[in-house]
Amino acid sequence: MYGIPPTDHSAVPVMTVRYAHLVMQTHIDCPSLACPVKRQAKSRLVEAKHLIPAGAPSTPA
């Protein structure tokens, strides 16, 4: 955010959906496999159905 790379990549005890969106934006350049907080954010968004992972089977609307 603001051109400053994130320095803390540690997972957090509780992550809201709103915070997960913020993490995904601020850690956009971090690989999910190397960044625990981005991995946690992605899992939270998938759980909340705010993100559908690539390769997931599509469901009819």
Q: State the DSSP string of 27-41.
A: TTTS-TTT-HHHHHH
Cα 39 to Cα 59: distance, rounded to the nearest angstrom = 24
User: Is the CB of residue 1 less than 8 Å from the CB of residue 30?
Assistant: no
Amino acid at 13: P
According to the model, what pLDDT value does residue 1 have? Answer: 45
Write the pLDDT tens digit of every residue in 7-55. Answer: 888 999 999 999 999 999 999 999 989 999 999 999 999 999 999 988 8
Rounded Cα–Cα distance for residues 8 and 36 (Å): 10
33 within 8 A of 7, measured Cβ to Cβ: no
pLDDT of 6 over the 70 cut: yes
- Token pair in block for residue 15: 């992550």
